[in-house]
Amino acid sequence: MRVLFIGAHVSKGGGLALQTFQVFTGLRRHIDVDLLCLDALGVHRTMAEIPGVRFAGPLVFPKGIAYLERAVREVRDEYDVFQVLDPYFSLPAAFWARVFPRAVFFGTDPRAEVGWRYGPHMNAFARIAMAPLISGTPLVVNSQALAARFRRYHPRVILGGVDTRRFDQLISKAAARRSLGIPEGRTLLVTVGKVIPVKRLEWLMEVVRRVPGVDAMVVGGYTEEHYSDQYYRRLLATYPDIRDRVTFTGEVTWDEVPMYLSAGDIFVFPSKFEGMPNALLEAMAAALPVVVSDIPPHRELIQHGRTGFLARDPIEMAHQVTILANHEDQRRSMGDAARVYVRENLDSEACTQAFLDLYRRLIAGESSRLTPAEAEESTELSTTQRE
């Protein structure tokens, strides 16, 4: 079996790109799989230097679509299955290159993402433009919440996974703080992700403002091509009173993330919307207690009060952080429960095996779409557990 992954990039990082790259490397232990993508500068570019990764051209829109389409056409007879990884470049490229069988993977709702960036009129345009590109093609999503948003396409859910081996030998908190130059003696909140509006970092800043005994570290780039650094600057201007208690690290490599998690006491993740957030999975795998926004994807992962806390607003989030900051035993027990949950339910190998099964079915000519009855069962959302 030979599979071609077609994506936008790996060099610029982002949780979804890292999650799909993890699937790619996991599959390479079992089958012959290559990754065709576009080239871009970024701290993760060394990831593109491993065997099997090829560039079709530079990451520029819309020319990048044509670069990918041409490259896919040149090699389409060499592969048995084509895996489409992003909606903006590889989805139209694979559609116009007419490669079959192919599967489309969404780790977020691109229609909503376009709306957040460019306004509601573009959301409507994206819905119209995307429909013919995914109709009749097996659609895979990485959470039940996303499956509900794409119910009309009867998607198959393959839950995102995390390579738990990366968190087996974490260095101590004291060693991590010494390495990063973080002083001892204060509770440190950590979040990982790009500094963009959908991450809703105002909640984190409000928590720091309301809880005097905590500091925060935001691990992620704060200059993004669609937003520039306007959101970052707005946060600094809105919260000048806590500027000395919040550190923005800028973008770091994927391999460095475990050290930042080791240095933290509590992981805070206030996003407005996610698919299956890689950053949250990794924090749980690192045995950090987590306090997250109460949104559908997080409800799939968090048993409220046991594997983490779900917060409906920044005031509630501040209260939950205060509880954990004042009770080390609860931080430890909650972090341990989260780690066990991820290891038992969201290990990357299970994700790899699910994709292998999908590809075998596609090659055999079986439909990978769920029946309406299966889809109804598959997209039942987990309910928030607030006992």
Per-residue pLDDT reduced to its tens digit, 98-139: 999 999 999 888 888 877 777 788 888 888 888 899 988 999
Q: For residues 138 and 13, what is the distance between their CA atoms, to the nearest angstrom?
A: 26
User: Residue 291's beta-bridge partner residues?
Assistant: 268, 309
User: Residue 83's beta-bridge partner residues?
Assistant: 5, 103
Q: What pLDDT is stored for residue 18 in this prediction?
A: 80
CB neighbour list of residue 11: distance below 8 Å, 6 or more residues apart? 39, 40, 41, 42, 44, 45, 47, 48, 59
Higher pLDDT, 336 or 23: 336
Contact 266, 189 (CB under 8 A): yes
Q: For residues 69 and 73, what is the distance between their CA atoms, to the nearest angstrom?
A: 6
How does residue 227 score in pLDDT terms, banded at 50, 70 and 90?
low
Contact 317, 270 (CB under 8 A): yes
User: Structure tokens of 86?
Assistant: 């992003």
pLDDT at 373 over 60: no
pLDDT digits (tens, 9 = 90+) for 177-224: 999 999 888 999 999 999 999 999 999 999 999 999 999 999 998 876
14-23, 73-82, 202-211: which range is least confident on average? 14-23
Torsion angle in degrees (nearest 10) through CA of 141, 144, 145, 149 = 60
Average pLDDT over the chain reads 89
| Residue among 196, 260, 259 nearest 222 (CA) | 196
Q: What pLDDT is stored for residue 371 in this prediction?
A: 45
Q: What pLDDT is stored for residue 49 in this prediction?
A: 74
Q: For residues 348 and 342, what is the distance between their CA atoms, to the nearest angstrom?
A: 10
Share in percent of the chain as helix, strand, coil (round to 5): 50, 20, 35
pLDDT at 15 over 80: no
How does residue 372 score in pLDDT terms, banded at 50, 70 and 90?
very low
Look at the pTM and tell me if it is higher than 0.75: yes
- Average the pLDDT over 226-242 and give the result: 90
% of the chain at pLDDT higher than 70: 90
User: Structure tokens of 9?
Assistant: 């990039």
Query: Distance from first CA to last CA of the chain, Å, rounded?
Result: 48
pLDDT digits (tens, 9 = 90+) for 268-314: 999 998 888 999 999 999 999 999 999 999 999 999 999 999 999 99
Inter-CA distances, 331 with 25, 175, 271, 327, Å:
33, 19, 21, 6
Cis (ω within 30 of 0) for the bond into 372? no
User: Where does residue 58 fall: left (phi above 0), alpha (psi -120 to 50 degrees), or beta otherwise?
Assistant: beta
Residue 309 sits at φ, ψ, to 5 deg, of -120, 140
Q: What pLDDT is stored for residue 247 in this prediction?
A: 96
Other residues' Cβ atoms within 10 Å of the Cβ of residue 224: 20
Other residues' Cβ atoms within 10 Å of the Cβ of residue 165: 11
